[in-house]
């Protein structure tokens, strides 16, 4: 998977859309790979690849990080060309809102009036001119060639004219022109985030006791590609040995299990193929380690990962539990995601993976588990740097529906927890309505529980980490270099 998302596996558009999009993308990748080269003559392979990724994202509801790697392999695009295609695709998707505002002025018309394939070509050109170190003449000429190859000679003339207007001004000059209105509107355009996301992140900062003027830093951090981080699963591989095998790697900033890669494809990392090592954000590692660090009077009962897909946290919890002689049960409502969990825990013996609805587990197995992880489905606003297109897919209307699911899952988890046991409620979103509000609503109906200090639990793993006042713990990309993971710990009496 890339980095683990922490959005669970329950029925929602996110998972279904990704799966359907990935399947369609694979079929289209196979078709386009078989086109004769002369049919695409004049267009640069890296730019063509980036264009095809943008088209798949728009047409198939696919995710770029699922479309691009197989496309590069099929077309044998490697090295600098692969790096160029990656930056073109991901950077253009990430900064789409900014470029659309600029292109509307340069084209003298709303971007909605442009044909979608033509608009994608223009976005790619704008990113080369304003977001990359590509000479203007090369950016314009190569993008015009792409337009001629993919959208026709007539539209290519428009691309030439519009991109020349874009190239006539610097990025800052363009932002001074188009980033107007109140603070939210200006930041929305300048940092390429929907306005509702900007407001939600500001509210989350304030709730975490952080100054509101950190908002710009949060938004800018979302536009910096995340560094690939590995987890050396305890008891299966020694982190120091892994570091010794990866000369360009470094230890993680916070956890004793994390390894940061300098770059490149992690597929060749030793241990990745057999499941002793996995790709996992350090924030994701922190919340799992924190759950395992909380004292529990009777820890002989099994542990439960309630929304386990795709399995990164399950793998780490399974490794920790194995060291203590405890079993783990992982439930996942969607069969294809349950298969991903099984693949993730293939190196572990005592992890049972079930296809089941987490909302029913508390009623079916009351009081069975000593530790329960609820990695709840969420908007994913904490992982925008990983999924560049997701900020444009989510809507404010998604939050209430997800909130109902989050409440049901947390309530089920508490019912499934043995007296004295602990529940970790985790989201890969700092949105207050998905974190503190959900916890407050559920705990109001469960008088037999108490909130523990999640900040103390994380500091038991990472003593030097700077966090808010607690009891909730919120990670931030601009502070911790992790996804914006939220953690609340609850003990059942």
On whether 82 is known to bind a ligand per the annotation, the reply is: no
Q: Is 428 a catalytic residue?
A: yes
Is residue 132 domain-resident? yes
Burial class (CB in 10 A: 0-12, 13-18, 19+), 243: middle
- For 190-200, the pLDDT digits (tens) are 999 999 999 99
Asked if 435 and 294 sit in the same domain, the reply is yes
Which pLDDT band holds residue 82 (cuts at 50, 70, 90)? very high
Structural domain ending residue among the three candidates 141, 172, 203: 172
User: What mean pLDDT comes out for the span 415-428?
Assistant: 98
Asked if 369 and 313 sit in the same domain, the reply is yes
Domain residue limits at 163? 13-172
On whether 358 is known to bind a ligand per the annotation, the reply is: no
On whether 311 is known to bind a ligand per the annotation, the reply is: yes
What pLDDT shows up at residue 14? 40
Q: Which of 230, 428, 461, 484 is catalytic?
A: 428
On whether 120 is known to bind a ligand per the annotation, the reply is: no
Task: Please state, in angstroms and rounded to a whole number, the distance separating the CA atoms of residues 373 and 376.
Answer: 9
- For 441-483, the pLDDT digits (tens) are 999 999 999 999 999 999 999 999 999 999 999 999 999 999 9
Asked if 399 and 303 sit in the same domain, the reply is yes
- 285 pLDDT higher than 80: yes
What pLDDT shows up at residue 339? 97
On whether 365 is known to bind a ligand per the annotation, the reply is: no
User: What mean pLDDT comes out for the span 385-409?
Assistant: 96
What pLDDT shows up at residue 129? 98
Structural domain ending residue among the three candidates 133, 148, 172: 172
Is residue 230 domain-resident? no
Asked if 372 and 439 sit in the same domain, the reply is yes
What pLDDT shows up at residue 451? 98
Please give the tally of structural domains in the chain.
3
On whether 398 is known to bind a ligand per the annotation, the reply is: no
Asked if 216 and 150 sit in the same domain, the reply is no
What pLDDT shows up at residue 317? 98
DSSP 371-433: EEEEE-----GGGTTT-TTHHHH--TTHHHHHHHHHHHHHHHHHHHEEEEEEEEEEES---GG
Which pLDDT band holds residue 357 (cuts at 50, 70, 90)? very high
Is residue 190 domain-resident? yes
What pLDDT shows up at residue 42? 64
What pLDDT shows up at residue 41? 52
Is residue 304 domain-resident? yes
- 31 pLDDT higher than 90: no
On whether 364 is known to bind a ligand per the annotation, the reply is: no
User: What mean pLDDT comes out for the span 275-299?
Assistant: 97
Is residue 51 domain-resident? yes
Q: What SS3 string covers 266-320?
A: HHHCCCCCCCCEEECCHHHHHHHHHHHHCCCCCCCCCEEECCCCCCHHHHHHHHH
Task: Please state, in angstroms and rounded to a whole number, the distance separating the CA atoms of residues 193 and 93.
Answer: 11
Mean residue pLDDT of the chain comes to 92
What pLDDT shows up at residue 266? 86
As separate numbers, helices (DSSP H) first and strands (DSSP E) second, the chain gives 22, 12
Residue 160 structure tokens: 């030439």
Asked if 353 and 428 sit in the same domain, the reply is yes
| Crossing angle for the helix pair 45-60 and 13-33, to the nearest 10 degrees | 140
Asked if 307 and 445 sit in the same domain, the reply is yes
- 16 pLDDT higher than 50: no
Strand 417-427 with 449-452, pairing: unpaired
Asked if 458 and 318 sit in the same domain, the reply is yes
What pLDDT shows up at residue 35? 42
On whether 100 is known to bind a ligand per the annotation, the reply is: no
CATH code at 21?
Answer: 1.10.940.10
CATH code at 398?
Answer: 3.40.50.150
- 9 pLDDT higher than 60: no
Query: What is the 8-class DSSP label of residue 212?
Result: G
Which pLDDT band holds residue 11 (cuts at 50, 70, 90)? very low
Asked if 434 and 470 sit in the same domain, the reply is yes
Asked if 211 and 357 sit in the same domain, the reply is no
Task: Please state, in angstroms and rounded to a whole number, the distance separating the CA atoms of residues 299 and 306.
Answer: 18
Is residue 438 domain-resident? yes
With H, G, I as helix, E, B as strand and everything else as coil, classify residue 176: helix
Is residue 133 domain-resident? yes
User: Is pTM beyond 0.85 here?
Assistant: yes
**Measured CA distances, 97 to 195, 217, 485 (Å):** 10, 18, 25
On whether 222 is known to bind a ligand per the annotation, the reply is: no
On whether 48 is known to bind a ligand per the annotation, the reply is: no
Asked if 162 and 205 sit in the same domain, the reply is no
Is residue 91 domain-resident? yes
More confident position, 266 or 371: 371
**Measured CA distances, 352 to 138, 330, 374 (Å):** 55, 6, 16
Structural domain ending residue among the three candidates 110, 141, 172: 172
Asked if 304 and 449 sit in the same domain, the reply is yes
């Amino acid at each position: 998977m890339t980095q683990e998302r922490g959005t669970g596996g329950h029925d929602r558009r996110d998972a279904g859309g990704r799966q359907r999009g990935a399947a369609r993308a694979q079929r289209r990748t196979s078709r386009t790979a078989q086109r004769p080269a002369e049919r695409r003559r004049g267009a640069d392979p890296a730019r063509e690849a980036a264009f095809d990724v943008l088209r798949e994202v728009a047409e198939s509801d696919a995710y770029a990080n699922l479309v691009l790697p197989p496309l590069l392999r099929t077309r044998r695009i490697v090295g600098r060309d692969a790096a160029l295609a990656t930056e073109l695709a991901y950077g253009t998707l990430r900064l789409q809102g900014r470029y659309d505002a600029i292109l509307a002025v340069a084209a003298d018309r709303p971007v909605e009036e442009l044909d979608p394939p033509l608009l994608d070509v223009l976005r790619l050109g704008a990113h080369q001119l304003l977001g990359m170190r590509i000479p203007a003449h090369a950016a314009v000429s190569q993008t015009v060639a792409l337009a001629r190859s993919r959208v026709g000679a007539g539209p290519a003339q428009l691309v030439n004219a519009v991109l020349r207007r874009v190239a006539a001004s610097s990025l800052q000059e363009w932002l001074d022109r188009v980033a107007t209105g109140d603070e939210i509107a200006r930041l929305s355009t300048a940092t390429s985030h929907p306005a509702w996301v900007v407001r939600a992140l500001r509210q989350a900062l304030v709730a975490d006791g952080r100054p509101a003027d950190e908002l710009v830093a949060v938004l800018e951090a979302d536009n910096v590609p995340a560094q690939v981080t590995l987890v050396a699963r305890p008891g299966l591989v020694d982190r120091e040995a892994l570091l010794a095998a990866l000369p360009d790697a470094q230890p993680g900033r916070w956890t004793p299990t994390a390894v940061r890669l300098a770059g490149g494809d992690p597929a060749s990392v030793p241990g990745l193929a057999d499941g002793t090592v996995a790709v996992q954000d350090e924030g994701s590692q922190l919340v799992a380690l924190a759950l395992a660090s909380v004292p529990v009077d009777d820890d002989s009962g099994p542990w439960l990962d309630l929304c386990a897909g795709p399995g990164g946290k399950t793998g780490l919890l399974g490794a920790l539990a194995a060291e203590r002689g405890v079993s783990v049960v992982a439930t996942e409502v969607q069969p294809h995601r349950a298969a991903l969990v099984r693949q993730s825990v293939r190196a572990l013996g005592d992890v049972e993976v079930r296809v089941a609805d987490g909302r029913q587990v508390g009623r079916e197995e009351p009081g069975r588990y000593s530790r329960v992880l609820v990695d709840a489905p969420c908007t994913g606003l904490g992982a925008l740097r990983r999924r560049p297109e997701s900020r444009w897919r989510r809507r404010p209307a998604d939050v209430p529906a997800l909130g109902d699911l989050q409440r049901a899952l947390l309530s089920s988890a508490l019912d499934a927890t043995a007296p004295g046991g602990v529940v970790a409620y985790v989201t890969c979103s700092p949105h207050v309505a998905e974190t503190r509000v959900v916890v407050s609503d559920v705990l109001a109906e469960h008088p037999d529980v108490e909130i523990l200090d999640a900040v103390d639990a994380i500091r038991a793993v990472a003593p030097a980490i700077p966090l808010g006042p607690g009891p909730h713990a919120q990670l931030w990309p601009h502070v911790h270099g992790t996804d914006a993971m939220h953690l609340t710990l609850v003990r059942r009496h």
